[in-house]
Structure 1
């Protein structure tokens, strides 16, 4: 994407050296997306529109004997095209 002013908090130095340029899709985990939604919902929406959800999965704590879920959430695996 072009035309966005950004502040980079973390980056992979191997990409800068050229080692990581063919690594594949950029993946945004649901916790990172939730943080982005809390910081700037409009930017989070732009990220969601530019990418695609590749899978949803259930995440939480389950009692191994009864099968009861104590904490339940859906984790979305979101990939951005490079």
Structure 2
């Protein structure tokens, strides 16, 4: 995204859609490795179907767990 880093986009997404899991996909993962992913899941390019499937499954599981915690807090 021009003028915005992956991390910035992730933060903006969380700000507007706090329940949406965020997965960063980057071909420049060495930059993210140096600066950190700030708690976002990272998928390094190129990636396989299995890697994509695994990270998306983890993101969905995270959202379900978060929903259960939020519901139990009510």
TM-score of the aligned structures, taking structure 1 as reference length: 0.26
Higher-Rg member (1/2): 1
Structure (1/2) with the larger helix percentage: 2
Structure (1/2) with the larger strand percentage: 1
TM-score of the aligned structures, taking structure 2 as reference length: 0.28
Which protein, 1 or 2, shows the higher relative CO under an 8 Å CA cutoff with sep ≥ 6? 1
